[in-house]
Amino acid sequence: MHHIYSTLANNNEYIRYTNNGPGGVNIAERSVVIKGGHGIHKKGIGTAMGVHTTVSDEDFEWLKDDYSFKQHMKNGYIQVKKGEVNTEVAAADMVTRDQRTDACPIVPQDFKDDGKKETVKPAEGKKPKAA
């Protein structure tokens, strides 16, 4: 068994298609769903590493060759562990927020606290419009 931890916001279904269907139509041959929803408000307690999914050795052998799965692993959104895992140790080097795409909810660490307060000054010389 392999344990997959995902910090992605949504479930991901990795699918292999075959084009042996009638008329050359692609038909889903095999699929594996990796659970997501890390950082999303929901009922239940999440792990520090992300949302956990267990997959069989056979499914993982197929998954590790999938292009999208490899990209998610390369970018740090998915970690794979075989056997039991100490979640606190493994979570230390995972990506939890992508600053480029802003793909996760905003957390308090995203705000800088430099002690300066910015205020909006009213525009001068303009009369308010009557309702």
Q: If you average pLDDT over every residue of the chain, what do you get? A: 79
Domain containing 11 equals 2-100
More confident residue, 87 or 57: 57
Report the predicted TM-score, pTM, of the whole model to 2 decimal places. 0.59
In tens, the pLDDT along 92-130 reads: 666 666 666 666 666 777 677 776 666 666 667 666 666
**Is residue 40 assigned to a domain?**
yes
**Is residue 107 assigned to a domain?**
no
**Is residue 21 assigned to a domain?**
yes
**Is residue 122 assigned to a domain?**
no
* DSSP, residue by residue, 49-117: TBEEEEE-HHHHHHHTT-HHHHHHHHTTSEEEEES---HHHHHTT-----TTTT-S---GGGS---S--
Number of domains in the chain: 1
pLDDT value, residue 40 = 80
CA distances from 94 to 8, 82, 98, 109 (A): 11, 17, 11, 16
pLDDT value, residue 13 = 94
**Is residue 125 assigned to a domain?**
no
